[in-house]
Chains A and B, each alone.
Chain A
Amino acid sequence: NAGVMQNPRHLVRRRGQEARLRCSPVKGHSHVYWYRQLPEEGLKFMVYLQKENIIDESGMPKERFSAEFPKEGPSILRIQQVVRGDSAAYFCASSPGSAGGNTEAFFGQGTRLTVV
């Protein structure tokens, strides 16, 4: 019974390159969340996705950041033209839904992005 799988665990990119972070949810979960966390800070909401649909992207920067959760395959968080300020831990979580019954969300191990 695999949990949320994120890869890579560590990613180093030079300024200006693209970073692509992947998240495979718990089997049977149709909702995915992405969060960013800086050292000694809380989890900052970025985007909430359902398969083939963005439910809430109010936490996503307007430029360079995008996310998708296709019908098949993992959810992808893409950061184009990375800058040093993008260095952080990026966590993905998944849940069966968001209303009624069990809405518990479980986290992956995170991707630590370092921009050099």
Chain B
Amino acid sequence: QKEVEQNSGPLSVPEGAIASLNCTYSDRGSQSFFWYRQYSGKSPELIMSIYSNGDKEDGRFTAQLNKASQYVSLLIRDSQPSDSATYLCAVRSGRAQKLVFGQGTRLTINP
């Protein structure tokens, strides 16, 4: 079982709609969860961090964490073409709490 799993997509969403990205993780001891955005040919950029169960909102982005289900999600409201990128879920995992990434979900926002 992979430490962090994401649907690789591609996920296609019309402009203005809500994009929903999902991630599951295997280590029940994980305490820190992150979403990164990566444009093609660029480095990953941190967009959200979440540490406790529930929702965390930042502008058009909402991260949701459910530790009991070992599930993290990212919602993007009012999707824009500039949101088209690969979204990476990251989790601190293992005794050393190293930062492990899922394979990423490619999101395309259609004008």
Contact = CB atoms under 8 A, between A and B. Distances in A.
Contacts of B96: 48, 55-56, 98
Given A43-B101, A55-B96, A93-B99, A99 B31 contact: yes
A91 B31 CA distance: 23
A41 B46 CA distance: 18
B103 A105 contact: no
A33 interface: yes
Given A98-B96, A98-B97, 7 more contacts: A33-B98, A33-B99, A42-B104, A45-B98, A99-B97, A104-B46, A109-B42
A17 interface: no
A76 B41 CA distance: 22
Given A104-B49, A105-B34, A45 B43 contact: no
Interface residues of A, number: 23
A9 to B, nearest CB: 11
Interface residues of B, number: 23
A99 B97 CA distance: 7
B81 interface: no
A110 interface: yes
Nearest to A54: B96
Contacts, number: 61
B101 A104 contact: no
B28 to A, nearest CB: 16
Given A99-B31, A107-B45, A41 B103 contact: yes
Closest 9 pairs between A and B when the two form their complex, measured CB to CB? A42-B103, A98-B97, A56-B96, A43-B101, A107-B43, A48-B98, A56-B98, A103-B32, A55-B96
Interface of B: 31-32, 34, 36, 42-46, 49, 88, 90, 92, 94, 96-104
A45 B44 contact: no
A107 to B, nearest CB: 4
17 contacts: A42-B102, A45-B99, A45-B100, A55-B96, A56-B94, A56-B98, A58-B98, A93-B44, A98-B97, A98-B98, A99-B97, A104-B34, A104-B49, A105-B46, A105-B90, A109-B42, A110-B43
